[in-house]
Structure 1
Amino acid sequence: MSSAIKDLPLAAEFAPAGYDDWRKLALGVLKGAPFEKLQGKTPDGLPLEPIYPRAINALPVAGRPLGAPWQIVQRVDHPDAAEANKQALHDLENGATGLALVFAGSVGGRGFGLPPTREAIEKALQDVHLDAGIGIELQFAPESCDVVRHLVELIKRRGTDPAACDIRFGIDPIGARAVRGSSPTDWSEIARGIAEVARNLCAAGFKGPFLAADGRVVHDAGGSEAQELAYVLASAIAYLRALEAAAVPLDQARGMIFARLSADADQFLTLAKFRALRVLWARIEQSCGLAPKPLFVAAETAWRMLTQRDPSVNMLRATVATFSAALGGANALAVLPHTLALGLPDALARRIARNTQLVLLEESNLEKVADPAAGSGGIEALTHELCDAAWTQFQAIEQAGGVFAALAANLIQPKIAATRAVRDKAIAKRRDVLTGASEFPNLHEARATVLDAEPIAVPTFGEAKISFEPLTPLRLATPFEVLRDKSDAVLARKAARPQMFLANLGTPADFTARATFAKSFFETGGIEAIDTEGFTDPAALAAAFKASGAVFACLCSSDKAYAAHAAAAAQALREAGCGRIYLAGRPGELEASLREAGVHDFIFAGGDALAMLNDAWQRIEAA
């Protein structure tokens, strides 16, 4: 390095700047608007500041060992065990270091999964060397708990040392019952059963962990980060108490439990959530009189963020989620293939899911630094705020008698439903954007390829002894996708979609912005927009509308052009037989005159787009 470059002062030439300097400049830009306009809130109501100072004396959160890569886990969920085996071997040969055996009917099955039989397990794991450092994770329904025995027997028949196997058995009766909303047995019987299984596995030489505290149950149902954390803690404590009641020492019992969290496309919240879980679990260990040891935390990219429409965007969502969970210290990570919401993913989708992790691990070297977010003011603040919020909710669950009792009494479900309702409203109003679904739709996109596979039906237990509200999984884009499905059905029947005539007024400079907005608005609901060159003559506009064959129209232009032309244009459209007239933008003082001229509804940013589109479809179907 030359001395000239070495002595370059760089930042030293600038005057030091602090928070007060930034705030002064920010207030100038706000031009009298309150500073709070720059602040936000998480779904838990936690404050989000626009800028944070560096966190002084912050220590790294103990998690994945320094420099240790996380396990790259691939789903093995093909209903045909022979095909599942081919997929598993291909994944292992091309960079995967772990396999999640997903069985039909499990929480993570997503409509597919392996048959829960001895033959299926043996066939799916053919030529997979279980003592070669490969991580194996089981995901199964309560009715399929024999898969644990089948796997143990397979290992015994092979003569493999159980201690050499890295298997997370994934026993989670609480999670399965939370999703179904019922249980054939009470908690005391469940607790005795899982403790016996865990002790037997340990006696057989398996090192575990055996029991899973699975946060996907809450996240899939629309819950917040703090709600997911509180549920995971409460589930883990329930399993810890069950083991303790079976005379398993606490120091040994904690190693029999692992956690699983969903990772979504909110980078900072996801990162902070994974850090917060480790802080919270360390607090529980200390309360038990134990020196903290890092909990094994598995991650899976979120089901609820997947879209059927424009599924390629799911790759971007998965990349952000993987990045966040990896930096948050996840020990194992499974990426849901981007086409999973459409059906069973093909080889390309599986490859992309696998390579998303490989690129971040082997090319971006995300594992090289332990807890890289340590000291970041924003992440540290969010981590501790999540800890406080989750701990309060965890205490409420404990006061109710534990997680099973709280579910049975429907104490957890309404809180999750309330959070879900707030998020649904934000999506309906497109404040929270789902690219390709609620914004920037492509009505002419080619449908992604998925495998032709029939799901396996798994019989459920008999009559439920205990029933309560289920935590039903959802995808956030579903309400918009329902409308797109209606549009596809109309296209199949009539060779044309429902159409919206864009009544553009004035010059392109007047109408382009709002015409673009209106096109995206209506096409998110599957109503195809017919663009036009622009009109100043109401008679010409009416003639063009009649020739288009559309039933509805939307006026698009500037506020100035609306004042001059909108009323006459609306009257001409009404006289031409337009069944419904919309206007893009807020009407302001013109609302009364515009409605009198024939405008029925106004579409604008922040309005309830979903409600407007559903209303339009009711009129389309009634026509």
Structure 2
Amino acid sequence: MRSLEKIKNQSFALKTRYEWEEKAEASLKGKTVESLQTTTYENIVLKPLYTRQDEQSVPEFPGGSDFRRGVYPLGYMKNEWKAAQRITYQTPQELQEKLHQSFDKGQSAISFDVKKVLFEEEKSLVNILAGIYHQYPFAINAKDLQTSFLTEVAGLDGHNQLCGYIGSDPIALFAEEGIISNEFFTEWVKNIQLSNSNFPNLRTILIDSVPYHNGGANAVQELGIAIAVGVYYLEKLQEKGIELEEILTKMIFQFSIGSNYFMEIAKLRAARVLWNRITELYGATEEVRGMVIAAVTSSFTKTVHDPHVNLLRGGNEAFAAIIGGIQYLHVSPYDELTGTTPFSERIARNIQLLLKEEAHLKKVIDPAGGSWYVEALTNQLAEKAWVFFQQIDSSGGILEVLKSSWLQQEITAVYEKRNSDIQTRKQSIVGTNVFANLADAVPQKPLVNEKPYFADGGKIEAILEKRLAEPYEELRRKAKSIEEKLAAKPSVGLICIGELKQYKARLDFMKSFLATGGLEVVESNAISSIETAKQFVSELSTKYVCILGTNDQYETIGHEILAALKAEFPERVFYLAGLPEKEKQDQWINEGIKQFIHLKSNCYKTLSAILSELEVNTNEKTKA
């Protein structure tokens, strides 16, 4: 008991920031605290430590002021977010069955992709929705079929009581398709006007930032674009005589949630700050200035290989969305890229239920509120996004920057930086560019959604849907194709100089490096002489060989081994694991090393070159 009392009464002296920095730098072995700073794709510098000096002035409670802390004073305690899992289906009958099953298992919004097949038979959609449309809100991105969808549901009894959203974002469709259809936009405006009286409680104006996210945009760009699209719709609909307050009650924003956990939380908070500022400038009352948000977990971050890792990605993204304060959420099944199963759909839905019921997120009001880090990040994002929005606005608005391809170029620049970091493995994709599993079956090419929205219109550069893992997935498919033709996996021989403890670190590195492209390793036993190296290489079926060991071994025996091997096996291609000092690199290259493979190597380009050469040689052999 005395020891327990002692622990309870124990206190620690307060430490200053200077003392923390001094202690940190002592463990950094000569580096400064500033070296721990990182710069994001939004060009925001993240500090290693945030203190009370970073404290921001924020609203005392959610549901007021700039809405960063949410649109409801009691958060999810009184207004739970809706589990809006998009139901997949092939036929209307299958959709009807799966919808009813999903609601029995925790679904809380009517959500599915809208297909033309739903309108091919009279009252098909009405029959599907029977018994559920008056119990649950809608969460539908109807895209180019919004008019057809709303026309159908207008025949439902009590249609004026429908709630949730059945929205469409013409500009997002234009960006995806690469066509601007004035005819479609005119029809969309008329549809909004008609639906306002038919569906007083239903939101129909969607601002969808998902296509830009999937094109590689950063959080600043996503926010700036979303605000610019929102402003464009505000102005166009007001020109048609619709009142500002009525337009705002019909709007809903959709965001894709990526893998940078705190950045995504801040993105959602900053979105509400920005929209509050815009609507306040337009003269809207506080009651309609709160942004309603539907979120989807990102397809940009998902992988075809090692698909169960997508469960972790989806869980992380769902967690960020909920902490960020969304109203509707779809969590993509882990195998969505190659075709979902009832099991994967159930697990995706259960991620939300776990966060709601077992993590108790519905019982905590704005857990991120007041965090020095999150608040600082929210403000930085909002400020940078406001500048980006102003750039769009000063260039004539969202349609003009799409027509000029300025926006596409801005997004492409960010994507290329992301792609470069993935190729050089500065950024990791577990199971794809790090910790790849060669025993993993290579699935068929991912499913591609055909999106022929418009027959004609003004051509613009389309913002193509991408995923970060795609370049490596293409390498794995190429390696699989070569394996099928040769009846053996493509491989690289590894000459391991010295004892295991000396070369093991580089051996593990090379195995991981090569596996990301589907290349198997054939490793030697411990090599201590030129003769054993020759014997090993003579038995290899691959022409690609990498020498690995310690830097000291490279200088004592490495040069001699390379010279002997190059003389006896001139057709072989030799690599060296590691990066020698600059003054020694020319010597290695002159002696026959094609490339140094090290931590800063472009993994993708290196493996692509090997596989491309193998593919050419394989094709020549099969033709012969």
1:424 to 405, 419, 425: 419
Tell me the TM-score normalized by structure 2: 0.91
User: How far 1:124 sits from its partner (Å)?
Assistant: 7.8
Alignment correspondent of 1:107 = none
- Alpha-carbon spacing, 1:7–1:298, altered in 2? closer, same or farther (3 Å): farther
Q: What code does the residue aligned with 2:516 have?
A: T
> Residue 111 of structure 2: SS of its match in structure 1?
strand
Contact 2:207–2:252, Cα closer than 8 Å, also in 1:
yes
Alignment correspondent of 2:620 = none
Contact 1:64–1:370, Cα closer than 8 Å, also in 2:
no
User: How far 1:549 sits from its partner (Å)?
Assistant: 1.3
After superposition, what is the alpha-carbon deviation per residue over 1:357-410, rounded to whole angstroms, capped at 9, x for unaligned? 111111001122222111111111111110011101111111222211221122
User: How far 1:166 sits from its partner (Å)?
Assistant: 2.2
How do residues 269-418 of structure 1 correspond to structure 2 at under 5 angstroms? Answer: 269-292=263-286, 293-342=289-338, 344-418=339-413
- Alpha-carbon spacing, 1:537–1:458, altered in 2? closer, same or farther (3 Å): closer
Bigger shift: residues 113-122 or 283-292: 113-122
Paired-residue identity, %:
26
After superposition, what is the alpha-carbon deviation per residue over 1:336-368, rounded to whole angstroms, capped at 9, x for unaligned? 1111122x2111111111111111111001122
Alignment correspondent of 1:579 = 572
How do residues 75-224 of structure 1 correspond to structure 2 at under 5 angstroms? Answer: 75-104=86-115, 117=120, 122=125, 125-132=128-135, 134-142=136-144, 144-153=145-154, 156=155, 158-159=156-157, 161-185=158-182, 192-224=186-218
Alignment correspondent of 1:58 = 58
Bigger shift: residues 486-495 or 218-227: 486-495
- Alpha-carbon spacing, 1:516–1:470, altered in 2? closer, same or farther (3 Å): same
Contact 2:494–2:524, Cα closer than 8 Å, also in 1:
yes
In structure 2, what is the Cα distance between the partners aligned to 1:146 and 1:80? Answer: 21
- Alpha-carbon spacing, 1:240–1:4, altered in 2? closer, same or farther (3 Å): farther
- Alpha-carbon spacing, 1:527–1:457, altered in 2? closer, same or farther (3 Å): closer
In structure 2, what is the Cα distance between the partners aligned to 1:455 and 1:518? Answer: 34
> Residue 258 of structure 1: SS of its match in structure 2?
strand
Q: What code does the residue aligned with 1:402 have?
A: G
Q: What code does the residue aligned with 2:577 have?
A: A
Tell me the TM-score normalized by structure 1: 0.91
Contact 1:225–1:273, Cα closer than 8 Å, also in 2:
yes
User: How far 1:191 sits from its partner (Å)?
Assistant: 5.3
Q: What code does the residue aligned with 1:361 have?
A: K
Contact 1:118–1:150, Cα closer than 8 Å, also in 2:
no
Q: What code does the residue aligned with 1:304 have?
A: F
User: How far 1:594 sits from its partner (Å)?
Assistant: 2.2
- Alpha-carbon spacing, 1:509–1:116, altered in 2? closer, same or farther (3 Å): farther
Contact 2:143–2:167, Cα closer than 8 Å, also in 1:
no
- Alpha-carbon spacing, 1:29–1:4, altered in 2? closer, same or farther (3 Å): closer
In structure 1, what is the Cα distance between the partners aligned to 2:526 and 2:590? Answer: 23
Contact 1:73–1:333, Cα closer than 8 Å, also in 2:
yes
> Residue 15 of structure 1: SS of its match in structure 2?
coil
User: How far 1:162 sits from its partner (Å)?
Assistant: 2.4
Q: What code does the residue aligned with 1:425 have?
A: S
- Alpha-carbon spacing, 1:510–1:479, altered in 2? closer, same or farther (3 Å): same
Q: What code does the residue aligned with 1:606 have?
A: K
- Alpha-carbon spacing, 1:535–1:544, altered in 2? closer, same or farther (3 Å): same
In structure 2, what is the Cα distance between the partners aligned to 1:85 and 1:578? Answer: 63
User: How far 1:90 sits from its partner (Å)?
Assistant: 2.1
RMSD: 2.4
In structure 2, what is the Cα distance between the partners aligned to 1:219 and 1:121? Answer: 34
Structure 1 stretches of 5 or more lacking a match?
105-112
2:465 pairs with 1:467:
no
In structure 1, what is the Cα distance between the partners aligned to 2:448 and 2:374? Answer: 41
In structure 2, what is the Cα distance between the partners aligned to 1:178 and 1:120? Answer: 32
After superposition, what is the alpha-carbon deviation per residue over 1:221-251, rounded to whole angstroms, capped at 9, x for unaligned? 0000000001111111111112211222211
Bigger shift: residues 276-285 or 246-255: 246-255
Q: What code does the residue aligned with 1:263 have?
A: I
Contact 1:502–1:531, Cα closer than 8 Å, also in 2:
yes
In structure 1, what is the Cα distance between the partners aligned to 2:450 and 2:388? Answer: 36
After superposition, what is the alpha-carbon deviation per residue over 1:119-155, rounded to whole angstroms, capped at 9, x for unaligned? 59528825551111x232222342x3443234324xx
- Alpha-carbon spacing, 1:64–1:572, altered in 2? closer, same or farther (3 Å): farther
- Alpha-carbon spacing, 1:140–1:577, altered in 2? closer, same or farther (3 Å): farther
In structure 2, what is the Cα distance between the partners aligned to 1:622 and 1:404? Answer: 45
Contact 1:191–1:239, Cα closer than 8 Å, also in 2:
no
User: How far 1:523 sits from its partner (Å)?
Assistant: 1.3
In structure 1, what is the Cα distance between the partners aligned to 2:392 and 2:232? Answer: 11
Contact 2:125–2:153, Cα closer than 8 Å, also in 1:
no
In structure 1, what is the Cα distance between the partners aligned to 2:210 and 2:244? Answer: 26
Contact 2:179–2:456, Cα closer than 8 Å, also in 1:
no
> Residue 262 of structure 2: SS of its match in structure 1?
helix
User: How far 1:99 sits from its partner (Å)?
Assistant: 3.2
- The number of aligned residues is 600
Alignment correspondent of 2:65 = none
- Alpha-carbon spacing, 1:425–1:128, altered in 2? closer, same or farther (3 Å): farther
- Alpha-carbon spacing, 1:457–1:268, altered in 2? closer, same or farther (3 Å): closer
> Residue 575 of structure 2: SS of its match in structure 1?
strand
> Residue 295 of structure 2: SS of its match in structure 1?
strand
In structure 2, what is the Cα distance between the partners aligned to 1:33 and 1:455? Answer: 48
In structure 2, what is the Cα distance between the partners aligned to 1:531 and 1:72? Answer: 50
In structure 1, what is the Cα distance between the partners aligned to 2:217 and 2:597? Answer: 30
In structure 2, what is the Cα distance between the partners aligned to 1:131 and 1:544? Answer: 73
Alignment correspondent of 1:444 = 439
User: How far 1:615 sits from its partner (Å)?
Assistant: 1.5
In structure 1, what is the Cα distance between the partners aligned to 2:478 and 2:101? Answer: 38
Contact 1:215–1:261, Cα closer than 8 Å, also in 2:
yes
User: How far 1:259 sits from its partner (Å)?
Assistant: 0.3
User: How far 1:479 sits from its partner (Å)?
Assistant: 0.5
User: How far 1:487 sits from its partner (Å)?
Assistant: 1.0
Q: What code does the residue aligned with 1:89 have?
A: H
2:223 pairs with 1:226:
no
User: How far 1:164 sits from its partner (Å)?
Assistant: 3.0
User: How far 1:334 sits from its partner (Å)?
Assistant: 0.4
Alignment correspondent of 1:110 = none
Alignment correspondent of 1:481 = 473
2:35 pairs with 1:37:
yes
Q: What code does the residue aligned with 1:345 have?
A: T
User: How far 1:446 sits from its partner (Å)?
Assistant: 3.6
After superposition, what is the alpha-carbon deviation per residue over 1:549-600, rounded to whole angstroms, capped at 9, x for unaligned? 1221111222122222221222343223552111111111432332233211
How do residues 546-585 of structure 1 correspond to structure 2 at under 5 angstroms? Answer: 546-574=538-566, 575-577=568-570, 579-585=572-578
- Alpha-carbon spacing, 1:539–1:64, altered in 2? closer, same or farther (3 Å): farther
After superposition, what is the alpha-carbon deviation per residue over 1:173-216, rounded to whole angstroms, capped at 9, x for unaligned? 1100011111232xxx6554333212211211341211111111
1:609 to 597, 603, 621: 603
> Residue 455 of structure 2: SS of its match in structure 1?
coil
Contact 1:76–1:114, Cα closer than 8 Å, also in 2:
no
User: How far 1:63 sits from its partner (Å)?
Assistant: 1.7
